[in-house]
Chain A
Amino acid sequence: DAKTTQPTSMDCAEGRAANLPCNHSTISGNEYVYWYRQIHSQGPQYIIHGLKNNETNEMASLIITEDRKSSTLILPHATLRDTAVYYCIVRVFSGGGADGLTFGKGTHLIIQP
């Protein structure tokens, strides 16, 4: 799996858009970019994923650069409930294999009132 680099922490004002960056410069052509988050003491929650094109769902938007070496997760109108650790994961398969999902340290997003 390609290595990812995320900022350790970020702040965002409530109601504003939260933009979370992720660098994955060694990504290969068949690797997807997945985003998950973990709110304190809860199970990880899937947010969105993409391969090449930008994606949008009811939770967020995912912008992938043309060279696929970086991406940005956008929460359009952040609320206090969006305070969580956000993980960017790059891999071919969504599961399987002996290594499973590697969540790393992620970005601790703090939404300020």
Chain B
Amino acid sequence: NAGVTQTPKFQVLKTGQSMTLQCAQDMNHEYMSWYRQDPGMGLRLIHYSVGAGITDQGEVPNGYNVSRSTTEDFPLRLLSAAPSQTSVYFCASSYSAAGGQPQHFGDGTRLSIL
């Protein structure tokens, strides 16, 4: 019963480095999304996808890229890491984005940019 799996759980990067945060779900969900959560703040949507091959920007997309080549995977790429991107990143999925569909979240990736 894997649900939504995020890797890595922790990562430290230097400013300017790039990396990919992985997110995979095994529930055949069409809708997937990425959020970031900063200390004492709520979640903010970065990017989302309503199905394979379709992605769109959320509230805070700058500095991040996504792709959705399969239903299962939705990786988040940091192009050139900046200290302002230090945060906890959560991936979520649901059967669809329609009303009445619960979102299932991963356990998060804690990212520090030095």
Contact = CB atoms under 8 A, between A and B. Distances in A.
A113 interface: no
B97 A98 contact: no
Nearest to B40: A105
Given A43-B107, A94-B94, A102 B102 contact: no
A102 B103 contact: no
Given A93-B98, A95-B94, A103 B42 contact: yes
Interface in B80-114: 90, 92, 94, 96-108
Contact of A96 (B31, B35, B106, B108): B31
A88 B51 CA distance: 27
Contacts, number: 85
A45 interface: yes
Contact of B100 (A41, A45, A49): A49
B67 interface: no
B21 to A, nearest CB: 13
Contacts of A46: 102-105
A65 interface: no
Given A43-B106, A51-B100, A102 B48 contact: no
Contacts of A93: 97-99
A60 interface: no
B99 A94 contact: yes
Interface string B1-43: 0001000000000000000000000000001010100000011
A50 to B, nearest CB: 9
A32 B58 contact: no
Interface of B: 4, 31, 33, 35, 42-45, 48, 50, 56-59, 90, 92, 94, 96-108
